[in-house]
Amino acid sequence: MSETKQNTSEDKVQITPELMAFIEEWKSKPGNLIMVLHRVQQTYGYIPRSLTFEIASMLKVPLAKIYGVITFYNFFKTEKSGRNIIQVCLGTACYLRGGDDIMAELEKQLGVGVDATTPDGEFSLEAVRCLGCCGLAPVVVINGEVHGKLSTKDIAPLLDQYRGAKAKQA
């Protein structure tokens, strides 16, 4: 399982004026770090490393504290996600009905492991716990769209459908 970094232009990420105003607004409030990190991720889709230095300075908190929060909570991402986010349910029902086989097939087809993004930036693969669709197990959610009762033979056509969506939009 290989992980791919694709943020070659990440060092050029700059704080937007809107984000700067948000940080200024929250600077002196309790819980400001969590709120600021949520807003950064909402703005960029992840928390760019270069911005953590600025946030530390603006909020007057140690960089280690910021990384402690980022790494403690699963929600925060330090790498940019792919255009298509694939979430494979590995909750009990999905796991028992082949969720692990679906995950293995996705890893094989995409050439990346869990919590990684394909080199072309097209797909990110995540393992999640119960999505509340147990009757459709095993379930995969791609960009918020639920795909249920899958087998490993459904994976290649499903990926093609999302690859094709890019060509249709262009």
> How does pLDDT run across 21-38, given as a tens digit for each residue?
999 999 999 889 999 999
> How does pLDDT run across 55-109, given as a tens digit for each residue?
999 999 999 999 999 999 878 988 888 999 999 999 999 999 999 999 999 999 9
Kindly report the pTM of this predicted structure: 0.72
Band the pLDDT of 168: cuts 50, 70, 90. Answer: low
| CATH number of 84-169, picked from 3.40.30.10, 3.40.1440.10, 3.40.50.20, 2.60.120.10 | 3.40.30.10
- The values of phi and psi at residue 141, to 5°, are -115, 125
Give the closest residue to 164 by CA, choosing from 122, 117, 126. Answer: 122
Query: Domain boundaries in the chain?
Result: 10-72, 84-169
